[in-house]
Every structure is written in C-alpha cells, then in structure tokens.
C-alpha cells in the first residue's frame, strides 16, 4: 500500500473502499486492530507527545484526514487520492456494516449524543446492528466498567469519540482488553451526525475550507488550530527543503 511520511508520521493512501476491505481482513483474523485518521493537528501533537507518536507508529492503518495533508502530498508530487475523515468513515462503515453483518459499539461524546447518532444512522441504514452506546470518559477510573460493557457485546467495530489525542491513547491502552476487532478514534463525529455540531456544506469541504468553517462555528478552536495548521505547513515545507539539501 502506498504511503507518505510527514514529520515522521505515516499516512496511508487509502480510499473508503480500501478501508472497508482492510476491515474485512481485520475482522477475519480475530486480532484487535487500530485505525487512526491523521490530520495536521495529529502530526504537530506527535512532535512533542512521545506516547502519542508511538501509538501512531503502531496503528494498523492511518487515513489522510485533513486538507493540509492533501496539499503537502501534492506539493511533494506524491499525491494522496482522497481525504478519509472520521465522520465520513462512520457513515461509510455503518453502511458497509449493515451489508456485511458487522456489529458496532459507539463509545464517547456527551451523554445521549452517541444514542442520538446511532438512532439517526439506524433509521437511514436498515439492518444496522449497533450493539451498544456509552458516553463514559477517557479517564482510567472508568476503564473497568467500559471493558465489561464492550466485552459483553463483542463488537466488530468500536468507534471512540473522546477527541485527539485522548481517544488514540485510550484505544492503545485498552485494545487487548476489549474483544473488539477494529477500533477507530472518530473525534466529533457523533456530534456532527446527531446535529450537535454543524458540518460544513459539501462545497466548502470540496474547496478545502472545512477547517475555516469549523473555526468560525466553534471559535474556541482558534488557539489550537491557528497554531497547528500554519506550523504544520511550515514544518512540512521545511522538512522537504532540508531533506532535498541532504
Ligand atoms: N469528549 C468526551 N469526553 C471527554 C472529552 C471529549 O466524550 O472527556 C468528546 C466530546 O464530547 C466530543 C469529542 O470527544 O464529542 C471530541 O470532539 P472534537 O471535535 O473536539 O474532536 P476532534 O475531532 O477535534 O479530535
């Protein structure tokens, strides 16, 4: 599988169909697997957060989530084919799950939001088997209880919505204790699907401005994003220049 590496973080050049095919194999082999959806904030976080960087290295699949990654890949002349975002993965994989008989557990988000997202998806996707929803929290004192809930239901796919990097670290800590085949951190996906957070119109997504829309609608992200996105572009550019000189 083709991949690129930006600031030491691997990003696989996959489409939604490729991810579905990989998951078919993961479910068949019976081992736990971790899929991460890498965006510029992940890459910047990995530069100073060693445990998070290690989790990204160990992930079975790393999808390109974020227009910044597409820009850098094109500029390097090794273009990634498409963005594969957390929220769109949830909708694609629920459709695939209904067709293939996979079961799903929704973990995370504020109380009631996962249930609301699950109800909306179940209505639009006949045959969808959502075996559990639980808000919980990413803190270690909740882990035993969550293990019990997930072990009872043994989902094929577990979506975890605790935000980055908490959800990736949570999955890495708990992956062998859960009896779930595939685990994916999906950030604010349940909020988008439940309508708690507005998603940018499709044309805004297509021109690569979803980050700006999110910034306007959720201004508390200013500090985090205004630091991460330009820093990411600058450091990815610098990395290329430096390696070209070597
Ligand atoms: N969240 C949670 N418990 C926490 C912290 C966050 O359930 O202790 C949820 C929050 O309700 C939201 C998601 O994690 O649904 C994070 O969404 P955000 O859009 O911030 O994540 P990002 O996509 O930026 O990683």
Q: Which runs of consecutive H residues, i.e. helices, occur in 110-221? A: 113-124, 143-153, 166-174, 189-194, 202-206, 210-217
Tokens of 106: 């929704």
Ligand 1 and 188: CB distance under 6 A = yes
pLDDT (tens digit per residue) in 189-229: 999 999 998 888 889 888 888 888 888 888 777 777 777 88
pLDDT (tens digit per residue) in 102-140: 999 999 999 999 999 999 999 999 999 999 999 999 999
Ligand 1 and 187: CB distance under 6 A = yes
Shortest-distance Cα residue to atom 22 of ligand 1? 187
Ligand 1 and 161: CB distance under 6 A = yes
Shortest-distance Cα residue to atom 7 of ligand 1? 109
Please tell me the distance from the alpha carbon of residue 163 to that of residue 170, in angstroms, as a whole number. 10
Ligand 1 and 191: CB distance under 6 A = yes
Shortest-distance Cα residue to atom 4 of ligand 1? 162
pLDDT (tens digit per residue) in 19-66: 999 999 999 998 999 999 999 999 999 999 999 999 999 999 999 998
pLDDT (tens digit per residue) in 57-109: 999 999 999 889 999 999 999 999 999 999 999 999 999 999 999 999 999 99
pLDDT (0 to 100) of residue 197:
86
Give, for 77, the enclosing helix (H) or strand (E). none
| pLDDT range class, residue 245, cuts 50, 70, 90 | very low
Please tell me the distance from the alpha carbon of residue 182 to that of residue 180, in angstroms, as a whole number. 6
pLDDT (0 to 100) of residue 217:
82
Verdict on whether the full-model pTM lies above 0.85: yes
Going from the Cα of 137 to the center of ligand 1, the distance in angstroms, rounded, reads 10
pLDDT (tens digit per residue) in 172-195: 999 999 989 999 999 999 999 999
Going from the Cα of 175 to the center of ligand 1, the distance in angstroms, rounded, reads 19
Ligand 1 and 142: CB distance under 6 A = no
Mean pLDDT to the nearest integer, 146-160: 97
Do the beta carbons of residue 83 and residue 199 sit within 8 Å? no
Ligand 1 and 108: CB distance under 6 A = yes
Please tell me the distance from the alpha carbon of residue 179 to that of residue 154, in angstroms, as a whole number. 5
């Amino acid at each position: 599988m083709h991949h690129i590496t930006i600031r030491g973080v691997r990003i696989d050049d996959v489409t939604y169909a490729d991810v579905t095919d990989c998951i078919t194999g993961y479910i068949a082999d019976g081992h736990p697997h971790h899929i991460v959806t890498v965006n510029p904030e992940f890459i910047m976080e990995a530069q100073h957060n060693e445990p998070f960087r290690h989790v990204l290295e160990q992930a079975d699949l790393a999808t390109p989530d974020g227009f910044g990654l597409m820009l850098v890949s094109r500029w390097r002349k090794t273009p990634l084919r498409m963005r594969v975002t957390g929220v769109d993965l949830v909708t694609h994989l629920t459709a695939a799950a209904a067709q293939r008989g996979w079961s799903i557990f929704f973990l995370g988000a504020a109380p009631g939001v996962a249930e609301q997202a699950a109800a909306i998806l179940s209505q639009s996707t006949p045959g969808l088997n959502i075996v559990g929803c639980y808000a919980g929290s990413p803190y270690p004192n909740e882990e035993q209880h969550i293990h019990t809930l997930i072990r009872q239901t043994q989902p094929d796919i577990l979506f975890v919505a605790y935000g980055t990097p908490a959800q990736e670290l949570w999955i890495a800590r708990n992956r062998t204790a859960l009896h779930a085949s595939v685990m994916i951190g999906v950030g604010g996906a349940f909020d988008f699907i439940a309508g708690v957070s507005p998603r940018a119109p499709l044309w805004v997504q297509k021109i690569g401005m979803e980050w700006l829309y999110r910034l306007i609608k959720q201004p508390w992200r200013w500090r985090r994003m205004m630091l991460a996105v330009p820093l990411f572009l600058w450091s990815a550019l610098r990395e290329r220049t430096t390696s070209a000189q070597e």
